Chain A
Amino acid sequence: MDSLDNLYREIILDHYKNPRNKGLVTDPGYVTVRIKNPSCGDEITVQTRLEDGKIGDCRHEGKGCSICCSSASVMTETMIGKPLETAHAVAANYLNMVSGKPFDPAVDLEEAEVYAGVRQFPARVKCASIAWQAFLQTLEKK
């Protein structure tokens, strides 16, 4: 069961059980994007607030499997405090990594690196991606 252990890494399970930055706010300073995966019913909402060209805050809420929910939590932790450009690069790299596309190993994905195992599970790529896609959309929506 090597690849399963590779998927359910400790950091992932920790974020699944103890999600960080969870719960939405009504502050109009946040940009909100909700993504649904119609094939499985997973649903994630991401909120981002910019501050001096940086990600001032990032929040999430939703329902889904462990990979989906934990990746939302890891994403918010990774993103808070990052300059806009770095945030973009990290998210793009992460999405390439989980979907098995070429990515730049020089970009530091920090804790999000543990999602590398998702590549071996094509059916789960979407689960690991939607929170990050929603995040990128919050940056575009301003």
Chain B
Amino acid sequence: MEKNPWRGDFPQMDADSVFLDNAASSLKPQSVIDAVDRYYRELSANVHRGVYFQSYEATRLYEETREKVAKFIHADPEEIVYTRGATAALNLVAASFGMEQVGEGDEIIVSELEHHSSVLPWQHVASVKKAQLVYVPLDEQHRITLDGFRSVLSERTKVVALTLVSNVMGYVTPMAEIIALAHARGAVVVVDAAQAVQHMPIDVKRLDVDFLAFSGHKMLGPTGIGILYGRRKWLDAMEPIEYGGDMIDIVEKNVSTWKDTPYKFEAGTMPIASVIGLGAAIDYWNASDLDKMEDHTRRVRQYVFTQMKKIPGVTIYNPSAESGIIAFNLDGVHPHDASTFFAERKVCLRAGHHCAQLLIKRLGIDACLRASFFFYNTFADGDRFVETIKEAVRFFRNIGF
């Protein structure tokens, strides 16, 4: 078997299973597990409160992670808000910025390629504020294109909420150009980067993005922690959506004031262990060669794709995808039937609508299978996967599907 330089860092990798559900959640390296474990074993104290060693140390690690995240995406630490995940981050933007800034007759641009968490918060804002949701017309491959975007951008556009990488199709949105066009019309751009940070370098300053959200657990970190990047001037102007401990400045009987951003958005005890684990995940990225990892992922994906194309009875929905995702179905076999076969063969895939019902409807199907590759997957994983597809096609044909 070929030598994969990263595989050994992931204790979840047993020799038996082929893990191809990386777009749902990545595996976690030992260093992340150790960081979380160390917090619970040695510190276990709350942050920003005690003056004793354990609390002080926990606070230091908690705030050090904020600096790591900021550096990772070229932001300032004050622009990094901890949230429960990408979903919570996108909801925070809509519930605070959206509810304050969007008014009647304004337009919010979204797309059918979005994960539900990138479109539903804006659907809610639009319905409360009597604003209009406008969908970017996708091209024949179901991609967001500049032409498509231009055709819906207008002086009424207030917010643009789009995904940087699609979680079903693996397409990369031409975001820098979209942001420039949107800003020229005075619109604010919210980017869902949940499928992007683990595949490409992100520079929020160069992108000139207003808000950008992602989850820790898809980029080698723990669950329960996500990041909202916000341009300082927007965060400063925004109201918190949760009130409670740690986010306050002065509390009076009838009025109170809040801490500065980002702390005013972090009410109550945050997932401290997960934050610290995310810091270890970023250390892992910083110590690795992202280009090399991404190149490997794409080569494995291409290797698999080339063989899958030749299997009769397989439909692939995203042949031209840039990232490590293959969305497909076995003809005449419901994805749930198919995924049970794969599960029996210990090939871990996802079946369903992938929290993207608008896209699934557009594809004219009820659901699909998704294999998502990552840098620790090997060509041997690819071989097992392709063999299992062939077997599955045979199995279902034999029993009369």
Contacts and interface: CB of A to CB of B under 8 A. Distances in A.
Contacts of A66: 334, 337, 401
Contact of B343 (A8, A39, A42, A123): A123
A121 B399 CA distance: 19
Contacts of A58: none
Interface in A94-142: 121, 123-124, 127
Given A1-B344, A4-B395, A8-B399, A63 B336 contact: no
Interface string B341-353: 1011000000111
A73 to B, nearest CB: 15
A40 B401 contact: no
Nearest to B357: A41
A1 B395 contact: yes
Given A1-B395, A17-B400, A40-B352, A67 B344 contact: no
Contacts of B360: 41
A17 B334 CA distance: 13
A36 B64 CA distance: 46
Interface string A11-26: 0010001000000000
B334 A39 contact: no
A46 interface: no
Contacts of B351: 40
B340 interface: yes
Contacts of A7: 340
Interface residues of B, number: 20
A87 B335 CA distance: 31
Among B344, B399, B401, chain A packs the most CB atoms within 10 A around the CB of B399
A64 interface: yes
B336 A124 contact: yes
B366 interface: yes
Size category of the binding interface on chain A: 20 to 34
A65 interface: yes
B348 to A, nearest CB: 12
Contact of A41 (B343, B344, B353, B399): B353
Contact of B352 (A4, A41, A63): A41
Contacts of A64: 334, 336, 366
Contacts of B366: 41, 63-64
Contacts of B399: 8, 13
B367 interface: yes
Nearest to A39: B352
A40 B336 contact: yes
Interface string B294-330: 0000000000000000000000000000000000000
Given A13-B399, A41-B353, A4 B336 contact: no
A28 to B, nearest CB: 30
Given A1-B395, A13-B400, A41-B366, A65 B344 contact: no
A64 B335 CA distance: 9
Among A8, A39, A68, chain B packs the most CB atoms within 10 A around the CB of A8
A39 B24 CA distance: 14
A40 B343 contact: no
A39 B350 CA distance: 11
Contacts of B335: 65
Interface of A: 1, 3-4, 7-8, 13, 17, 39-42, 63-68, 121, 123-124, 127
9 contacts: A1-B344, A4-B340, A7-B340, A40-B367, A41-B360, A64-B366, A65-B337, A67-B336, A68-B336
For the complex of A and B, list the 3 residue pairs with the smallest distance between their C-beta atoms, beginning with the closest: A65-B334, A65-B336, A65-B337
Given A64-B334, A66-B334, 20 more contacts: A1-B344, A4-B340, A4-B395, A7-B340, A8-B399, A13-B400, A40-B351, A40-B352, A41-B357, A41-B360, A42-B336, A64-B336, A64-B366, A65-B335, A65-B337, A66-B401, A67-B337, A121-B340, A123-B343, A124-B340
